[in-house]
Amino acid sequence: MSNLPPHNLLTVLGPTASGKTRLAVALARLLDGEVISADSRQVFRGMDIGTGKDLHEYGTIPYHLINILDAGEEFNVFAFQRLFLAAFEEIRCRKRLPILCGGTGMYLDAALRGYRMVAVPENHELRAELEQRGMEELAELLRNLRPELHNSTDLLDRQRTIRAIEIAQYEREHGHESEPFPDIRPLVIGIRWERSELRRRITERLQQRLEEGMILEVERLHQAGVSWERLDYYGLEYRFIGAHLRGELSRNDLFQKLNSAIHDFAKRQETWFRRMEKHGVKIHWVNGDADPLAETLEIMRQVS
């Protein structure tokens, strides 16, 4: 084991608008790497501005787990882990460096913490029973099965709540049987900004995305058949813009409320990263307002 390199996966994480993609791409160019997205929404085609894909930044750098599903389809952390592990092995087989990049905490956990998630089969009898229950009753049932519930998005969509109950019930009955986890030795880089500067970047980025046509993007998705309920499930930008398009929010209220919600979301991301550290994930923090690329390369030299 002593002859193995200290890491075989480089990870770049940080809150929204922190410059993760730019740093990951710069590292990929220097280190002969390929980027794997750890974002719960960038998997969907047609959801570009609202998810902040910034595909123009990649240039010739290969990327994975972006634009692999049609908007409206279901995607979850189990599917992410399976696809991440496949991409990781594929990139390693090409003798290149996998670079995981994103800010979705559960997805990062699924890649970094060494537990393999179980494929839970559908329980049609249980589903038929749950379909008869109201949303409040379903939410209470899920909380009883999972008192530590941290993924509140499971409570925003009825079918997602039913699936979460199905998984929790299966795990209670069968335990956490799982396949061995691959040998992944991650070096984790986190981008940190001073709070007021991050807030400024978030606001500036939101203004830019609105000017680039984010409202039109959401309108087109709905016209293509994606329901308002499904758009709500896809996160803040789609939820607030959907309310605006339905006449529930003025243009000014849309900006003010969405901007505030994204600031709160960034705080929750930072809380998640601190939780990851408490659970044993070593994060090497670099300063976003300095030279994060140079700092990252120096960290890599120190740990090699």
Q: Is 257 annotated as a binding residue?
A: no
Q: Give the span between the Cα atoms of 72 and 229, in whole angstroms.
A: 10
Q: Is 16 annotated as a binding residue?
A: yes
Q: Is 17 annotated as a binding residue?
A: yes
Burial of 153: CB neighbours in 10 Å, binned 0-12, 13-18, 19+: middle
Q: Which residue type is seen at 145?
A: L
Q: Is 250 annotated as a binding residue?
A: no
Q: Give the span between the Cα atoms of 40 and 265, in whole angstroms.
A: 14
**Quick one: which of 77, 97, 229, 64 has its CA closest to 163?**
77
Contacts of 129 (CB under 8 A, 6+ apart): none
Q: Is 128 annotated as a binding residue?
A: no
Q: Is 15 annotated as a binding residue?
A: yes
Q: Is 2 annotated as a binding residue?
A: no
| C-alpha angle 51-253-73 in degrees, rounded to nearest 5 | 30
Beta sheet of 33-38, edge-to-edge order: 63-64, 33-38, 97-102, 9-13, 186-192, 283-287
Q: Give the span between the Cα atoms of 1 and 4, in whole angstroms.
A: 6
**Quick one: which of 121, 114, 72 has its CA closest to 233?**
72
Q: Is 271 annotated as a binding residue?
A: no
Known binding-site residues equal 14-21
Per the annotation, binding residues for substrate are 16-21
Annotated binding-site residues for ATP read 14-21
